[in-house]
Amino acid sequence: MQEMKFPQFHLFSNSSNSKTAFSNIDCYDDLKEIVKRALNAPDSYNLLFCGPPSSAKTQFLQGILDIRKDAVYFDATNMTNKILDVLEQKRPSIILIDEIEKASRVWLEKLLNFLESGHVKVDQQKKSYDFTIKSAKVFCTCNDIGRLSKPLQSRFKKVFLQRYSEE
């Protein structure tokens, strides 16, 4: 997949203008448009926001939540098997994962399998999961892309954001 680099931006936390998706992010207009188009695309589309802390990655996920109330958000630093219950029950078309590189290898392997097929098949001691989510779109953030396997990286369109600066 093609990689894109975006320049620095400025964050404004409280805008007096009417609130819209991504209103807390100044600049990145091209990326905002890409995200909106991806959300409306009929096919699966996976986007990985890469960059250091304070580069608007999580704000993009929050903006997606503002646009799509059917999206589900997970923090990879706190992923548990309950996530499988949520995915099985809700079968969301939009899945958001913050700081994906902090998930365990087991979860990253499950995610790779899901991104390849749209199918979740997990056998655990207490419960088995076997379901499909068709045309799901997955949006993730990542501080350190080097911690993700090359096969997993290949499942995403990657965008690289720069750290926020006062300039």
Q: Which residues contact 164 (CB under 8 A, 6 or more apart)?
A: 8, 9, 10, 11, 54, 55, 56
To which residue do tokens 């098949």 refer?
121
User: What CATH number does the domain containing 65 carry?
Assistant: 3.40.50.300
Residue type, 86: V
Average pLDDT by consecutive 10-residue portion of the chain (167 residues)?
44 38 85 92 92 92 92 89 90 96 92 94 89 94 96 96 75
User: Domain range for residue 64?
Assistant: 3-8+22-160
- Give φ, ψ of 20 to 5 degrees: -135, 170
Any domain includes 126: yes
Give the per-residue pLDDT at 166.
64
Give the per-residue pLDDT at 15.
34
Listed residue (51, 159, 46) closest to 96, CA to CA: 46
Any domain includes 124: yes
Give the per-residue pLDDT at 117.
93
Number of domains in the chain: 1
Residue 18, token pair as written in the block: 């009417």
Give the per-residue pLDDT at 32.
92
Any domain includes 62: yes
